Amino acid sequence: MSPIIAPSLLSSDFANLEKEIKMLNRSKADWIHLDIMDGHFVPNITFGIPVIRAIKRVAQKPLDAHLMIEKPERYMVDFKNAGVDFLSVHWEACPHLHRTIHQIKDLDVMAGVAINPHTPVHFLEDIINDVDFVVVMSVNPGFGGQRFIPNSIKRVKELRKLIDKHKSNAMIEIDGGVDLENAQTLIDAGADILVAGNTIFGSKNPIETIKQLKITNYKI
C-alpha cells in the first residue's frame, strides 16, 4: 500500500501560493499539510483562518491542519468552517485531551494528536482508540527545514506496536525532515502518512519528487 503524501505549505513560496497549490492539485499528493503556529506554543507565527479559507478555494486535496498553538479548543469551529478535513492538536498543549479530540470528532473532522520528540509514545495509550491519526514530530516543532531526528524511526516502531496492541485504527503521520533517503525506512517502520516540505518545494521538479515519495515507497 502506498503512503499518503502530505506536502507542507510551510516550505512553499508564499508570494506564489495559488501557483504552488495548483501544482499540488496536478500532482500525486494526497493531502495538503498546514502548519499553524501561534508564537506561544512554538517560537514562530505562520498563518490562520483567513489564509486557510483562501487555500480552500484553490485546493482540490483535503486539508490537514497541524495546530501548534495554545488552547486549540477555542478555534475548532473556525477551522471546520474554513474547510479543514484533518485536524491535529498537540498532547503537550491539551490538558483535557480526550475532550478536545471528541470536540473535533463532533464536528465531523478527522482528529489527530501530535507528540513532540521528547514526549514518550506510551503517553498515548489512553487516547489511541479515540484518535484517527497520530503525528510523530521528527523535528522540534516551530520551523521548517530542520534535520530529521534519527530516533524518530524507533518511535514510529513503538507507536505501531501500541496501535496493534490496542487494535486501534489510528494512522501514523511522520512530520519533519522527511526526504527520499529516509522515506522507505519510515514506511517500513509503520508510518502511513509522510509530511514533506523542503524535500518537495525545494526540488527542481516537485511533481516528480512527490511521485517518487508516493510510488517508490511501500509497505512490505
Q: Which residues are catalytic?
A: 35, 175
Q: Which of 91, 220, 110 is nearest to 169 (CA)?
A: 110
Report how far residue 98's alpha carbon sits from residue 84's, in angstroms, rounded to the nearest whole number: 20
Q: Phi and psi at residue 70, in whole multiples of 5°?
A: -80, 150
Report how far residue 88's alpha carbon sits from residue 112's, in angstroms, rounded to the nearest whole number: 4
CB 45: neighbour CB atoms within 10 A? 12
Q: Phi-psi bin for 176: left (phi > 0), alpha (psi -120 to 50), beta?
A: left
Q: Phi and psi at residue 40, in whole multiples of 5°?
A: -115, -60
Report how far residue 175's alpha carbon sits from residue 20's, in angstroms, rounded to the nearest whole number: 20
